[in-house]
Chain A
């Protein structure tokens, strides 16, 4: 009896120790927030929500989310995950083993625009990095890409260049219906649903990482729109031609009545006046309204006291000068990646004049009246 009691006691103690150790392991940090602006938070597995301040540790099963804010997370292997406004990412499995082939990194991009750059420390084999969206999975053979996911789960994936403008590697975007491999800088594909294959690969011109935001899926770049239209046209064409009909597959005589009850052919008999999903339409309208309101809010912000007044440029990407103009660290940033990268941030509020003389564009952009700081950018002979 005493022996049995001791055995039970030992077993209970051992079990309790294992549980405690597991708890310790699971609660341990796998990275941290290194940049944070505006409103953002981390929702723990316990449903506790903590503010995403700089220095805040990232734990397993955290959900990182932003409202009107941005966040940059760095993991222990130097992998980086950045979230722009209105973005949500679920950090599922991230664990590091001394053997990189046993390490694992799994994340789900749930909503908004997130950028993922795999770690440079080689602590996780890239085949063990699994990034997914509601409609696609992304196999990482490269290092740097963005995903933009809307409320319907549609996912736009863009492979980014490295600092030299070269492709950062290769990523494979796939779902149940097919897959596509992206190998070029700014190569992109759009996945509309889990049952629809990714669109054909397109390369988007005249963008930079800084210009990729949630609007990219609400109003996709022209190249993506065209790929989507071609995909829709292809799908509609499937049953149009006589060559598409397989007469050898005719087996109608083998069917009985029950086979026709739910055959997908919509007739008058199938009509149910009460079955209309009106809510879907209303929901779409509401979502569109929310998006429009958010856009209007941004416009109001840019015209309010918060932002500098620009002349000959607008906030965001400018098609004429090919500058992207945005706020960063309390200042104004100009970014241009054409025949060389010019990236200038003005971190004080003085007037700025940016004279630019490059192939195809010559003009002066001013902020807040200009002429306190004068910058002359020339590019020649390209």
Chain B
């Protein structure tokens, strides 16, 4: 408990309320061993790096190692903008509601090794844009993404070595785009249940690790659908489809 309080005290957090509907949290944090708990319940909850008075915000900025996130947003039209630079981080993220927006970068610059994400989304018309790695060197990602709902749009770009990516999507009219790029040991396990899905899967093996003779990607899919378009693209050079 003391540790928790110390962590909270070390945060530069401002909480501002804009009317009864909007809860807004702005975060600008640096330091190791952060444990961040956020539970937002209601309509129009927002987490970002700046105020949302113009309807937009910069991403919240969090830097450090050995971080733990436990963020729940329950309600409709919630927003989470975030940029994290961290090794050894664990993320438990839950959205329950419709029309939520998640735009989250981990290691867009800097390092992002040994990340574990467990993301659960229940609702319709949600938009998710998740990036891990990008130009930085990142290794070891365990990403579990569960989506229950319809008409969701998800874009997951992972540029990390040694990735275990598990995705379960249940609902109709979902649009899913995944990219695993520039890394070896890429696995994707994808269970899709629902009609009229539009799925793009890109798995691009990069240079094999030293002393590794094979860096083939693995894509395993279960499809329960009456109508779907699924594009699977495996390459050994860079480039998204």
Contact = CB atoms under 8 A, between A and B. Distances in A.
Nearest to B200: A376
B216 A374 contact: no
Contact of B219 (A343, A346, A348, A380): A343
Tell me whether chain A's interface is mostly helix, strand or loop, or mixed. Answer: strand
Interface stretch (B38-46, B62-70, B115-123, B226-234): B226-234
B218 A340 contact: yes
Nearest to A374: B229
Contact of B232 (A163, A337, A346, A375): A375
Interface string B229-241: 1111111110001
A344 B214 contact: no
Given A340-B219, A350-B227, A378 B213 contact: no
A320 to B, nearest CB: 19
Contacts of A164: 185, 214-216, 218
Tell me whether chain B's interface is mostly helix, strand or loop, or mixed. Answer: strand
Contacts of B217: 340-341
Nearest to A329: B222
Interface string A241-255: 000000000000000
Nearest to B205: A340
Contacts of A166: 213-214
A61 to B, nearest CB: 36
B56 interface: no
A206 B202 CA distance: 24
Contact of B220 (A331, A343, A346, A378): A343
Interface in A342-382: 342-348, 350, 372-382
A203 B76 CA distance: 58
Interface in A140-171: 163-166
**Most A CB within 10 A of own CB, among B187, B218, B223, B230:** B223
Contacts of B214: 164-166
B36 interface: no
Given A341-B218, A343-B220, A345-B223, A376 B228 contact: no
A343 B222 CA distance: 8
Contacts of A345: 221-223
B126 interface: no
A303 interface: no
Contact of A340 (B216, B222, B231, B237): B216
A377 B230 CA distance: 8
Contacts, number: 95
B228 A378 contact: no
Contact of A374 (B205, B230, B235): B230
B224 interface: yes
A226 interface: no
A347 to B, nearest CB: 5
Contacts of B218: 163-164, 340-341, 343
Contact of B230 (A340, A343, A376): A376
B230 A342 contact: no
B100 interface: no
Interface in B146-170: none
Nearest to A337: B216
A28 interface: no
B180 to A, nearest CB: 11
Nearest to A333: B222
Nearest to B231: A376
Interface in B187-220: 187, 203, 205, 213-220
B171 to A, nearest CB: 15
A339 interface: yes
B216 A381 contact: no
A164 B214 CA distance: 7
A350 B226 contact: yes
21 contacts: A163-B187, A163-B218, A164-B185, A164-B214, A166-B214, A331-B222, A337-B216, A339-B216, A340-B217, A341-B220, A342-B219, A343-B220, A343-B221, A348-B224, A372-B227, A373-B227, A374-B229, A374-B230, A377-B232, A378-B232, A380-B233
Interface of B: 185, 187, 203, 205, 213-237, 241
Interface of A: 163-166, 331, 337, 339-348, 350, 372-382
